[in-house]
Amino acid sequence: MDGGAAAKFEKTYNPGSVEGKWYEFWIEKGYFTAPSDPKSSTFSIVIPPPNITGSLHIGHALNNTLQDTLVRYRRMKGMSALWVPGTDHAGIATQMVVERDLEASSLTRHDLGREAFVNRVWQWKRDSGGKILTQLHRLGASADWEKERFTMDEGLSFAVKTVFVELYKQGLIYKDKRLVNWDPKLHTAISDLEVEQRKVKGRLWYFRYPIEDGGGRYITVATTRPETMLGDVAVAVHPEDERYSRLVGKSVVLPLVGRRIPIIADEYSDPEKGTGAVKITPAHDFNDFEVGRRHKLDEINIFDRDASLNENAPEKYRGLDRHEAREAVVMDMEKLGLVDKVTEHVHVVPYGDRSGVVIEPWLTDQWYVDAKALAAPAIEAVEQGRIKFIPERWKSTYFEWMRNIQPWCVSRQIWWGHRIPAWYGPDGKVFVELSEVDAGAAAKEHYGVDIELSRDEDVLDTWFSSALWPFSALGWPEKTSELRNYYPTSVLVTGFDIIFFWVARMIMMGLKFMGEVPFREVYIHGLIRDEKGEKMSKTKGNVIDPLDIMGTYGADSLRFALTALATQGRDIKLSIAVIEGYRNFMNKIWNASRFLFLNLGGYTPGKGCASEPSIVDRWILTRLNYTVREVESSLGSYEFDKVARTIYQFIWGEFCDWYIELVKPVLTGEDTPARYRTQSVLIKVLLNSLQLLHPVSPFITEEIYQRLRSIGVNLKSPEGGLADSIMVSSFPVFDESECDEEAYALVEFIKEIIAAIRNLRAVVGLHPTTTVNVTLFSTDEKMRGKAESGRDLIANLGRVAELNITRGGKPANAIAQVVGGLEVFIPVEGLIDVSKEIERINRELEKLIKSLEQSGKKLSNRSFIDRAPEEVVEKERERFKELSIKKAKLQEILEALSNIG
RNA sequence: GAGCGCGUAGCUCAGGGGGAGAGCGCUUGCUUGACGCGCAAGAGGUCGCAGGUUCAAAUCCUGCCGCGCUCACCA
């Protein structure tokens, strides 16, 4: 071919001009579509559905890059691969977004009414929801967009209803009146997991409660929440606390309220804490609630849904919010002289993770899932290894939570979400059915007549629908082919922050409704931080926006950087500098390809090769195969950082730095068959390198592959046909027959000789282009033979004019280096700083002597010889010998140097 | 309070019973016919501290110090 195709090769890779084009190409070709009737083995992933209100942040970029890498790899291995994309309806978050929009027109959702509001949310979703999925296109995500799902779409809503009704009928969902974490700002219950415990500086008030008929004596209780005293129903002391034993059974008169409340004995009371006597407010404290139930105490709820005081509080406090009430209560207590003291107190206060306000334990009717019952098989599945966590240590996090799991409050008092399929009769009898019609029928059966029912107002926790995602997204409860072919999914890729929220719940629901785990493996990746290890946030201004990054550096660079950083640790510190480094890598690949195109003169793809591969060819092919093996094994074990490192090292450190350089003379030389052979090896190695890289960096690899195709170079698909795209080409396979250990070792040795020459040249301060005469000295014939076989290579990369390989005399006036059993000399012409060189060699010698001593010590140790494995001892002997030889040679060199001086 | 993790080159991090590694940064030299987003050469580390196991410990165990995360906890 001629230079036509090469002419279009710009000097610098420009990702912006190619990425969009190839994404469209893949879509048009339908390459992302998983076969509904797979003929090969399958691989499937469901995306952790991003929140519809979200836009792509760097965490999504990481999460989806890793998924895409896995999917692309398996696809190239010939598997039928399905990656289901979709979004999550994010109940509270989405409702808040739309309410904020309404605020602009001074409206609340209550002004609109439920139906209109929900319509408004749908409208919002159509306009701006799911933006994040199109942003994933930029990243190159090869998800099957035809199968995109939304947790509120019709099918998933049906799945949610089905699950709810089924669990209810099995007694695993029930309604209960207990304390919940109430968010007084959002007016909804939230689950334990949505509560953030924050350490705050508060105060501890010590209140005196007058003892009834106690002759003016008091019992003093301490509290951080004075306002709750208005709901107190008892004072508890420890049964064995002698300070108070006389008082048990007596009563106190609750100040400000006037209620007579008992002093009770309960082990909950801790003599060490506070005064040892604790006020009991069952309606507003989880622990007190338990105490109350034990002693059959009243539950006096003094708050309304805003956490303002209601009619159960004394009149003067009614309508105050909890903060005002606190001040008022304290002031009034002070007036009565009933405040013993006030101390500074650091304690933990629950905050709503969405609203940021203090959560109030509040007594309400809510729906609960009996998580304990569902957890048992889910724990077992992980114990038995039917689900594997990677890294494995996350297993213990999972177990810890699952073994102490609490009932899961799934009802939310908001409007956006799956409305609970429960209907009530006039007497409050509940009918849980799939539809209003079914509920009506059930009611008729119960009451004997048609009767008007009212539907439960609440919606379900968003995570309830997310928990069904691995099977609902595949079409359950319909018996779809996707479900048949792709469930259980192969792996779930996610961050450790949602192991409880999501992973655990998916496992419970998957086992319950599919009778099978939802995924066989869970790969947990780290969370991305900024370069200082801090969480990225808009307020801190340290956000790295993946869209910006892709604009500047290209999606491939970002993806490669994220992959390289995806170690099995917790935090991933990302900086622009790292991304820039991998952008440079992309450019390196680009230029290696460019070089190839500029040197394809006379090459015809597909034409047989007349010439036997050279040692250098065999070396790079061996190295390539080792790389393939390493990459495949790392992908299999989710060691993404190793995947990236291995590819990087091979392409840059071996292919570009050595193979291309070693082979340049052949490409410009007269030996046509050799040139032809080299061209074909270059192409093979480049192609395979691109394939190895493709799952991580899909765009540049496709761009270069398509350029190769344009000159008639093609890859094969797993089925054996020509691959129209690198993404449907067959991933390279480790091929033992292409490995040549001897050639490999030989070229490694030659590389060392070249490095030694380069080092000496630098010492002498030779200009890179001036040539030099080099003597390679060895008394070992084999060694000289090896050097001889690399003569041209050494001469070329060492810029050697005359290469003398000899066992004869060593040159005088020369400086030297030792490589294995070989001495490398270059003459010293003119002035060099001999003393500096002596110093340098002395330093090397020092290190050498130290290792030699260590090695000698080992070998003279009887127990080492006796107990260490034979091959270790042998290796040590070998090493000792080599070190000794090297030491002797260095000493000779030193001597020779001092003669020059 | 319980659990988990991490302390390795100036920075970010791999590695993991038997010769200290990478990228970035740094120093020196270079219009080397692919690439200065580059090439070549180099400097730089008692692998947190103290014990123990072992023929052998950066690597395994114990303790300590420092840092981080998760869970629990409103007297």
- Total domains, chain A: 4
pLDDT tens-digit map of A305-348? 999 999 998 999 999 999 999 999 999 999 999 999 999 888 89
Amino acid at A284: H
What is the structure's pLDDT at A2? 43
- Residue A444 placed within a domain: no
From the number of C-beta atoms within 10 Å of its C-beta (0-12, 13-18, 19+), residue A180 rates as buried
Find the domain containing A79 and state its range.
40-172+373-406+464-525
Q: In the structure, what pLDDT confidence band is assigned to residue A535 with cuts at 50, 70 and 90? A: confident
Whole-number Å distance, CA A395 to C1' B71? 14
- Residue A582 placed within a domain: yes
- Residue A387 placed within a domain: yes
- CATH number for the domain including A96? 3.40.50.620
Amino acid at A684: K
Q: Do A150 and A277 have their domain in common?
A: no
Closest residue to B18 (CA to C1') is A872
- Residue A651 placed within a domain: yes
3-state secondary structure of A472: helix
Q: In the structure, what pLDDT confidence band is assigned to residue A560 with cuts at 50, 70 and 90? A: very high
What is the structure's pLDDT at A6? 52
Instruction: Inform me whether the pLDDT recorded for A224 exceeds 80.
Output: yes
| End residue of a domain, out of A330, A361, A392 | A361
d(C-alpha A394, C-alpha A522), whole Å? 9
Are the C-beta atoms of A751 and A793 separated by less than 8 Å?
no
Q: Do A647 and A769 have their domain in common?
A: no
- Which nucleotide's C1' is closest to A570 (Cα)? B5
Mean pLDDT of A652-665: 96
Beta pairing partners, A369: A173, A408
d(C-alpha A96, C-alpha A422), whole Å? 25
Please give the torsion angle defined by the CA atoms of residues A111, A112, A118 and A119, in that order, rounded to the nearest 10 degrees: -160
- Residue A840 placed within a domain: yes
Quick count: other Cβ atoms within 10 Å of Cβ A771?
13
Q: Which residues have a Cβ under 8 Å from the Cβ of A383 and sit 6 or more positions away?
A: none
Are the C-beta atoms of A615 and A726 separated by less than 8 Å?
no
Q: In the structure, what pLDDT confidence band is assigned to residue A665 with cuts at 50, 70 and 90? A: very high
Q: In the structure, what pLDDT confidence band is assigned to residue A378 with cuts at 50, 70 and 90? A: very high
Whole-number Å distance, CA A533 to C1' B73? 28
Q: In the structure, what pLDDT confidence band is assigned to residue A901 with cuts at 50, 70 and 90? A: low
Q: Do A668 and A794 have their domain in common?
A: no
d(C-alpha A73, C-alpha A631), whole Å? 11
What is the structure's pLDDT at A7? 54
Q: Do A111 and A57 have their domain in common?
A: yes
Q: Do A215 and A322 have their domain in common?
A: yes
| End residue of a domain, out of A482, A507, A525 | A525
Q: Do A197 and A230 have their domain in common?
A: yes
pLDDT tens-digit map of A185-204? 999 999 888 899 888 888 99
- CATH number for the domain including A566? 1.10.730.10
Mean pLDDT of A391-397: 89
Closest residue to B74 (CA to C1') is A349
Mean pLDDT of A674-687: 94
Strands in A713-821 per DSSP E? 772-777, 800-806, 814-819
3-state secondary structure of A21: helix
Instruction: Inform me whether the pLDDT recorded for A1 exceeds 50.
Output: no
- For chain A, counts of helices (H) and of strands (E): 31, 29
Protein-covered nucleotides on strand B (Cβ within 7 A) = 3-6, 11-15, 18-20, 22-25, 28-30, 32, 34-43, 54-56, 68-75
Mean pLDDT of A68-86: 96
pLDDT tens-digit map of A796-839? 999 999 999 999 888 888 889 999 889 999 988 766 777 788 88
- CATH number for the domain including A771? 1.10.287.380
Whole-number Å distance, CA A575 to C1' B12? 9
pLDDT tens-digit map of A697-720? 999 999 999 999 999 999 999 999
Q: Which residues have a Cβ under 8 Å from the Cβ of A679 and sit 6 or more positions away?
A: A599, A600, A602, A603, A667
- Which nucleotide's C1' is closest to A864 (Cα)? B55
Mean pLDDT of A531-551: 78
- Which nucleotide's C1' is closest to A660 (Cα)? B34
- Our measurement of the distance from residue A198's CA atom to the centroid of its chain's CA atoms, rounded to an integer in Å, reads 26
Instruction: Inform me whether the pLDDT recorded for A3 exceeds 70.
Output: no
Are the C-beta atoms of A236 and A290 separated by less than 8 Å?
no
C-alpha torsion sign, points A509, A513, A515, A517: negative
| End residue of a domain, out of A687, A705, A739 | A739
- Residue A263 placed within a domain: yes
Mean pLDDT of A526-545: 75
C-alpha torsion sign, points A848, A849, A850, A852: positive
Q: Do A635 and A676 have their domain in common?
A: yes
Q: What is the DSSP string of A589-609?
A: HHHHHHHHHHT-TT--TT---
Q: Do A133 and A253 have their domain in common?
A: no
- Residue A236 placed within a domain: yes
ipTM of the complex in this document:
0.96
Q: What is the DSSP string of A196-246?
A: EEEEEEEEEEEEEEEBTTSTT-EEEEEES-GGGGGG--EEEE-TT-TTTGG
**Residue whose tokens read 């070396």:** A619
Q: Do A290 and A347 have their domain in common?
A: yes
Q: Do A271 and A383 have their domain in common?
A: no
Whole-number Å distance, CA A561 to C1' B30? 30
d(C-alpha A901, C-alpha A898), whole Å? 5
pLDDT tens-digit map of A167-177? 999 999 999 98
Closest residue to B69 (CA to C1') is A570
pLDDT tens-digit map of A492-501? 999 888 888 8
Q: Do A728 and A773 have their domain in common?
A: no
Whole-number Å distance, CA A9 to C1' B28? 33
Amino acid at A160: V
d(C-alpha A471, C-alpha A514), whole Å? 8
Whole-number Å distance, CA A752 to C1' B32? 20
Whole-number Å distance, CA A864 to C1' B57? 15
- Residue A402 placed within a domain: yes
Q: Do A215 and A347 have their domain in common?
A: yes
